[in-house]
Amino acid sequence: MESSFTAGKSLDNDFRVFVDEYAHDSVDVVVRAANLGEFRTMNRGIAAAFDGKTICALSTPMGMGGIAVIRVSGPDAFDLANRVFSKDLAAVESHRAVFGILRNAAGETVDECLATVFRAPGTYTGENTVEFGVHGSTFIQTEAVRALMDAGCRHAGPGEFTARAFLNGKMDLTQAEAVGDLIAAEHAGAHRLAMEQLKGTFAKEITALRTELIGFAGLLELELDFAEEDVEFADRARFDQLLETLIARIASLADSFRKGNAIRDGIPVAILGAPNRGKSTLLNALLGDDRAIVSPIPGTTRDTIEDTCVLGSSKFRFTDTAGIRATDDALESEGIRRAWQTAKRASLVLYVLDASQDSVAEANAALNALEIGPETDVIALWNKTDLADAPALSGWESLSIAAAEGKGIEALKVRLEALGLTDDSESSIMVTNLRHYEALMESNASLVTTRSGLSNGIPGDLVASDVRQALHHLGTITGEIDPEDILDHIFSNFCIGK
């Protein structure tokens, strides 16, 4: 992205866009390129990513502060930084900070600042890097970036520093994506998942799976080479067993997505109940906010209203739904349809009952009629307990609240926090990224086809093609999708002199 701004204001906007997009688009550029098959021409090891230009950008949040950091990365980082800085940065050893003056093209002092030098390859991007620590005025931030651009730097695109780190082999794609997740993490759960992924735990598991699969594929390809000799290098029974194991492991990873995604983006909680039981009042009480419109008229809520809050170390995504009852009103019916949809997707349903109105029999009937998934928890909430005592309910977990008075809300929050914690196992790998989930599903589909192909005795070259598909999908997760992998493996492991 060649930046074309000139005025201070539009530069600010560019920064804002950059910062806003950072988390989500961080490696989209790379992922897109990888999916388009452009990946191989710019594979890791290539010194200069994309256009080989040296890039610069404000790396700290926009706004006023004590310090701001402006990062320069690329093959000409020292030369271009030298054009704005009073000391020769090419002569400074790596990981060392020097004090000097940053000047613009007109020779005017922009700031007195620290410049820290990082020499390739031991840097974040894998390229020569300079970080300027300037005074944190918006004016200086803008002018320092402008001075670097005048000196010949290109303004970095969203996430481009991290993209270069990936392209230069400093991290794999899952780690690059973890950087984006880490920056966007708002609570301990999301932070821990991103941190785990950044450490490469998930990537290691995927690589291990791929390695086993590559060994298998290598044997298959070898058979093809010796097809006329009718050799069977690969023991079919062992193959079948290996595939079974792989399919189970990948399926288990894919299964963790629902959980992992809930931790990252919020555990989905549906607030359900008959009309006028105080569902919207409950939502407002939980959020400490007038998020939903509350009225004594049954059926006030038609849209599903959603909002999140962090309780303990977990984020929750609450959805207030339309009251469930038999109705002829088309609009209300649509609302009720959506309420059921929400319930099915939720990890937890809070079913709101009215202690002053609903009988135990009615409550049980309603709870038993809930259309929910097998993994959805349910808590019955007896509301309006300021008007009447909550009846005892057997077979269902229940709590007493008086949402309008805020009574029982804290106890409910404590219960939710506890639910969040049990969802948050530290030991196992969790998939949090839709892209990873889809690749795992695709990969597994190919493996299932491979397995049935093997057992049906279809020709080896067709089986090999299915395995390659599975390998490809696994490879897209970490960014290793080079089909030469398979050949490499053959040549390195099976030196048969052919």
In the complex, what is the shortest distance from the CB of residue 212 to its own copies, in angstroms, rounded to a whole number? 29
What percent helix, strand, coil does the chain show, rounded to 5? Answer: 50, 15, 35
**Vertex 182: Cα angle to 176 and 188 (nearest 5):** 150
Spell out where 119-181 has E strands: 129-136, 154-155
Q: What is the DSSP string of 235-286?
A: -HHHHHHHHHHHHHHHHHHHHHHHHHHHHHH-EEEEEEESTTSSHHHHHHHH
In the complex, what is the shortest distance from the CB of residue 178 to its own copies, in angstroms, rounded to a whole number? 10
In the complex, what is the shortest distance from the CB of residue 331 to its own copies, in angstroms, rounded to a whole number? 37
In the complex, what is the shortest distance from the CB of residue 12 to its own copies, in angstroms, rounded to a whole number? 11
From CA 339, how far away is CA 331, in angstroms rounded? 13
Q: What is the DSSP letter of 186?
A: -
Which CB atom, from 19 or from 412, has the smaller least distance to its own copies? 19
In the complex, what is the shortest distance from the CB of residue 42 to its own copies, in angstroms, rounded to a whole number? 22
Which CB atom, from 133 or from 453, has the smaller least distance to its own copies? 133
Contact positions toward its own copies, by CB under 8 A?
Answer: 8, 19, 22-23, 57-69, 71, 95-98, 108-109, 111-112, 116, 118, 131, 133, 135-140, 143, 161, 179, 182-188, 190-192, 195, 198, 310
Which CB atom, from 313 or from 364, has the smaller least distance to its own copies? 313
474 conformational bin, left if phi > 0, alpha if psi -120 to 50, beta if neither: alpha
Which CB atom, from 172 or from 221, has the smaller least distance to its own copies? 172
In the complex, what is the shortest distance from the CB of residue 475 to its own copies, in angstroms, rounded to a whole number? 26
Which CB atom, from 69 or from 393, has the smaller least distance to its own copies? 69
First to last CA, the chain: 48
Burial of 284 (0-12, 13-18, 19+ CB in 10 A): buried
In the complex, what is the shortest distance from the CB of residue 131 to its own copies, in angstroms, rounded to a whole number? 8
Which CB atom, from 143 or from 358, has the smaller least distance to its own copies? 143
The two three-digit tokens of residue 357, written as one number: 């109105």
From CA 20, how far away is CA 12, in angstroms rounded? 12
